[in-house]
Amino acid sequence: MAHVNRDKKKLLTRVRRVAGQVAALEHALEADADCADVLIQIAAAKGAIHGLMMEVLSGHLAEHVVAEASPTKRAREAQAIVELLKGYAK
Amino acid sequence: MAHVNRDKKKLLTRVRRVAGQVAALEHALEADADCADVLIQIAAAKGAIHGLMMEVLSGHLAEHVVAEASPTKRAREAQAIVELLKGYAK
Amino acid sequence: MAHVNRDKKKLLTRVRRVAGQVAALEHALEADADCADVLIQIAAAKGAIHGLMMEVLSGHLAEHVVAEASPTKRAREAQAIVELLKGYAK
Amino acid sequence: MAHVNRDKKKLLTRVRRVAGQVAALEHALEADADCADVLIQIAAAKGAIHGLMMEVLSGHLAEHVVAEASPTKRAREAQAIVELLKGYAK
C-alpha cells in the first residue's frame, strides 16, 4: 500500500480530524449539549469520514488499478471497489 | 462506450424500471395516495437509480480504466470517477 | 394527505422533472452516449429524487406530526419517518 | 435536551464505538495496513456514525416535536430537521 505511505501524512491528518470531531461529540453528549448542535456535529463527522474515504479511494484506484500492469489484477480491484460502493454510496 | 453497447439491454431494462417507478410516483401524487406510501416509493426509486449508477460505473471502470492501455488515460478516467463520487456518495 | 393536495402542483412539477431526466437517460443509453456524461446524468437524477423526497417529507412532517393533535399519533408517524431514514439516508 | 439524558448511556456507548473505529483506522493507516481493508473500515465507521445520527434524531423528534405542546415550536423544529436532512441524506 505504497500510496498510503506517500499520502500517509495527509491521511493521518484527516483521520485525526475525524477523531477530534468524534471526541467533541462525546463531550457534547456528556455535557447535555443542545441536540440541534449535536445533530449538526454528527453530520459534519459523517462528511469528514466521506472525505477520508474519497482520499483513500483515490489513492487505491491510482495504485492498484491505474498503475497495476496486469489487466486481471486491475479488473479484480476495480470490481472490489464497485462492491464497496454499492453499500457505501447508497 | 462499447460497454454500454454490450450491456445495453441490461441497462435499458434498469432505466425503464426506474421510469416505471417514477411514473407510478406521479400517479400516486395525482391520486392523493397515502404519503407514507409515497415516501417509501421515492426511497425505492432512489435505490433503483443507485443500482443503475453502479451498473454503468462498473462498465465504465472496466472499459475506460481496467482495459485502457495508456496509464495516462487510466489515471484521468479514474480521477473523474473520484470527482463524481465526492458529490454522489456523500 | 391534504399537504400533497396543497403542494400538489409543486410536487407534480418535481416528479415530472425527474421523469424527464430518466427519459433523457434512456435516450442517452439508446444513443450510446459518452458514459462519463451518463454517470453525471444519473447523479443528477438521484439528486432530483432526493429533492422530491425532502419536499414530501417536509409536508408529511408538517401535517402528520406537527399539526397532529394526538401525541400518540405524532409519536407513531415520527418513528415511521426515522425507520424510513435509516435505510434512505445511509 | 432531556432525551439525551435519558438515552445518554446508549448514545455514549455508540459514540465511543465510533471513536474506537476511528482509532483503529488511525492505527491501520500508521501500520500501512492493506487499503482494501482500510476502505471497508471507513465504510463501517460511516455506518456507525449514521446509526448515531438516527438515534439522536429519533430522540430529538420525540422530545422537541412529538412531545412539544406548542405547534409553532413543533413546526420550527421539524423544519430544522428537514434542512439538516437535505445535506445529510443526499
**Would you give the DSSP letter of residue A89?**
T
H helices present in B2-70, as ranges: 2-6, 8-30, 35-61
Parts of chain B with a pLDDT under 50: none
Report how far residue C42's alpha carbon sits from residue A20's, in angstroms, rounded to the nearest whole number. Answer: 35
**CA closest to D16 among chain A residues:** A26
Nearest to C35 among B25, B45, B60 (CB): B60
Quick one: pLDDT at residue A90?
80
pLDDT in tens, C45-87: 999 999 999 999 999 999 999 999 999 999 999 999 999 999 9
- Tell me the domains of chain B and their CATH numbers: 2-88 (1.20.58.1000)
- Cell 460505473 belongs to which residue? B57
Report the SS3 class of residue A31.
Answer: coil
Quick one: pLDDT at residue A2?
58
Residues in chain A within 8 Å Cβ distance of D22: 15, 18-19, 22
**CA closest to C45 among chain D residues:** D90
pLDDT in tens, D6-50: 689 999 999 999 999 999 999 999 999 998 999 999 999 999 999
**CA closest to D56 among chain A residues:** A39
Q: Which of A11, A26, A27, A42 to mutate to test the interface with D (most CBs of D within 10 A)?
A: A42
Report how far residue B3's alpha carbon sits from residue A2's, in angstroms, rounded to the nearest whole number. Answer: 31
**Grid cell for residue A55:** 482520499
- Cell 399519533 belongs to which residue? C73
Task: Please answer whether residues A77 and A68 qualify as being in contact, where contact means their C-beta atoms are separated by less than 8 angstroms.
Answer: yes
**Grid cell for residue C45:** 437524477
pLDDT in tens, B54-73: 999 999 999 999 999 999 99
Residues in chain D within 8 Å Cβ distance of C67: 71
Please check the confidence at residue A15 and state whether its pLDDT lies above 80. yes
Structure ipTM: 0.92
CB atoms within 10 A of CB B71: 12
Quick one: pLDDT at residue A1?
53
CA B21 to chain centre: 14
**Grid cell for residue D15:** 459514540
Q: Helices D35-61 and A35-61 meet at what angle, rounded to 10? A: 160
